[in-house]
Amino acid sequence: MRVLFVFVCLLMFCSTSEGQYGQATPSISTPDPTVLDSVGIDQKMGDTVPLELKFQNESGQTVRLGSFFEKKPVILVPAYYECPMLCTQVLNGLLTGMRPLDLTAGVDFEVVVFSIDSGEDAQLAAAKKTVYTEGYGRDNGKLHFLTGDFQSIKELTDAIGYHFAHDPETDEYIHASGIMVVTPRGKLARYLFGVEFAPRDLKLGLLEASEEKIGTPIDTVLLYCFQYNPLTGKYSLAVYRLVRIAGVLTVLGIIAMVFILSRKNKQRVLQQSV
């Protein structure tokens, strides 16, 4: 299942394609199937991310992973900054999905991108941050791009179920595409797969991860009407919930109608007696 998922990703993006905020170049190498068998994403919803891990931010300063959580849900993005294919597409898709939201990264939630390549440095992270912060286009919007050593990267990717492999022939990393929505306490709440992330899926995932502490009352109703599907990593209309709501509304409508008709009947009787 995992191998099939990765093959689909490779078939989709091995051809040359240009993203809105970065460019993807073609890959001419076919990965060894035995390598692909170790690549994929295992959902570990409910598990806790190791918040004590140390990474370096875009300025080269050592930061604790937990410092990005505290009071806000976090969109966690595993990638690497010199990736010629999927990482660019994932970041572009995330940015496209976030821009229509009435929630702002850095204010209502955090976006933390971390490199899976321990050889990448703060300079590469800073360059990516500049490109995507400008692409986000919000004055108060803030995105974080981190780098780290092999041990920290390994502990974090193991914790979130993100498995990748290095191809020595191309000096590239073979990996699947997806992002994780994490609660302020560091618990993995939702996995969103692919390279395009619908604004609705992002918002519902953030609302759930925040325990409904962000958003509006209307958003809470919307959250009730949609259900997360772990197989697709997307939200779909919860038909049985809509049927339940329709049933309740029907009963309330009947009660209201009986009440109104009863009052009118009483008024008619009083008028006739006078």
Same domain, 244 and 129: no
Cα 176 to Cα 163: distance, rounded to the nearest angstrom: 8
Residue 103, Cβ neighbours under 10 Å: how many? 18
Same domain, 78 and 146: yes
The verdict on residue 205 lying in a domain is: yes
- Identify the pLDDT of residue 248: 54
Cα 55 to Cα 126: distance, rounded to the nearest angstrom: 14
Q: What is the DSSP string of 4-72?
A: HHHHHHHHHHSS-EE-SSSEE----PPPPHHHHTT-EE---TTPBP-TT-EEE-TTS-EEEGGGG-TTS
Tokens representing 89 are: 């597409």
Tokens 């294919």 sit on residue: 85
CATH number at residue 101: 3.40.30.10
The verdict on residue 233 lying in a domain is: no
- Identify the pLDDT of residue 14: 40
Where in the sequence is the domain holding 265, given as residue range(s)? 238-274
The verdict on residue 176 lying in a domain is: yes
- Identify the pLDDT of residue 71: 87
Same domain, 47 and 149: yes
Same domain, 182 and 254: no
- Identify the pLDDT of residue 15: 36
The verdict on residue 191 lying in a domain is: yes
Q: Cα torsion at 129, 132, 138, 143 (round to 10°)?
A: -40
Cα 70 to Cα 221: distance, rounded to the nearest angstrom: 26
The verdict on residue 231 lying in a domain is: no
Cα 26 to Cα 16: distance, rounded to the nearest angstrom: 5
Same domain, 93 and 177: yes
What is the DSSP secondary structure assignment for residue 92, as one 8-state letter?
H
- Identify the pLDDT of residue 195: 92
Same domain, 220 and 257: no
Same domain, 71 and 155: yes
Same domain, 204 and 168: yes
Same domain, 204 and 153: yes
Residue 256 phi/psi, 5° resolution? Answer: -65, -40
- Identify the pLDDT of residue 13: 40
Q: Which of 272, 81, 103, 65 is nearest to 184 (CA)?
A: 65
Total domains in the chain come to 2
Tokens 């821009």 sit on residue: 99
The verdict on residue 232 lying in a domain is: no
Residue 267 phi/psi, 5° resolution? Answer: -65, -40
Same domain, 194 and 243: no
Same domain, 123 and 99: yes
pLDDT < 50 positions in the chain: 1-19, 24-28, 214-215, 217-219, 239-243
Same domain, 194 and 93: yes
